A = this chain, B = another copy of it.
Amino acid sequence: MTRPSSPWRVPPGDRARQHELKRDAVILTAARAFRERGYHNTSLDDIAAALHVTKPTLYYYVSNKEQMLFACFEEGLARLTVACDEARAAGASGRERLVALVHRYALAITSDFGWCMVRAEDQDLSPAMGARIKALKSGIDQEIRALIRAGIADGSIAVRDPKMAAFALAGALNWISHWYRDDASLSAGAIAERFVDLFVNGLAPRTRQAPSGKST
């Protein structure tokens, strides 16, 4: 999904750029390892080995194992933030914008950093870091709620409880990281499409009117 697995064997470029590339490679490798084996089951030795580098070298680019997880989280979150920004400017109605967000969100979640972003637990981090992550996560939540409220305001969305709707939506999307694998039959886009279908139209048949008075 992302290319440069080991810039240690890719000499070109100037100094600062090299450093940046290598750091990126460290983060990416970590993200993949975490996704595959989990944070606690991944030792720095594992990551170093995957990069064909020795353990102390990692410390040249990252100050901590915790910082490593945090960097992965940030990397993933950045994509999500971009997604939010793009979505906000994407469509006319609140619903259209929300749909756009779902697509981009799915893409971000299925990226290498999806797991870290979603599963980085406060529990695994120092209180300070935990708080920062929590705050950032909450920011995304607020974005979703805002779009839902906007949709309600412009009449394109009808839900009783925007907060719970946001939780449900985010939950469904985040959960993708639990079952999605790169070799999956469905692309992120296809998944998003199916989700949109469900979330927009609901389970109940739309044709004509609601299937009865007692709608269940």
B164 touches A198 (CB 8 A): yes
Cβ-defined partner of A123 (8 Å) among B41, B157, B179, B199: B41
B206 touches A200 (CB 8 A): no
Could you tell me the distance in whole angstroms from the C-beta of A45 to the nearest C-beta in chain B? Answer: 12
**Number of A interface residues, CB 8 Å?**
61
A99: which B residues are within 8 A, CB to CB? Answer: 216
CA distance A124 to B211 in the complex (A): 45
CA distance A216 to B209 in the complex (A): 15
Instruction: Output the residue of A39, A173, A194, A213 with the most chain B CB within 10 A.
Output: A194
- On A, residues with C-beta under 8 Å from B are 36-41, 91, 93, 95-96, 98-99, 121, 123-124, 148, 151, 155-161, 164-165, 167-176, 178-179, 186, 191, 194-211, 213, 215-216
Q: Which 4 A-B pairs have the closest CB atoms?
A: A171-B175, A202-B202, A211-B215, A164-B194
30 A-B pairs within 8 Å (CB atoms) are namely: A37-B123, A38-B121, A95-B203, A148-B203, A155-B211, A156-B204, A156-B205, A161-B194, A164-B191, A165-B194, A165-B203, A167-B179, A168-B172, A168-B199, A169-B172, A171-B175, A172-B172, A174-B175, A174-B178, A199-B203, A201-B215, A202-B203, A202-B206, A206-B206, A206-B209, A209-B209, A209-B210, A211-B213, A211-B215, A215-B216
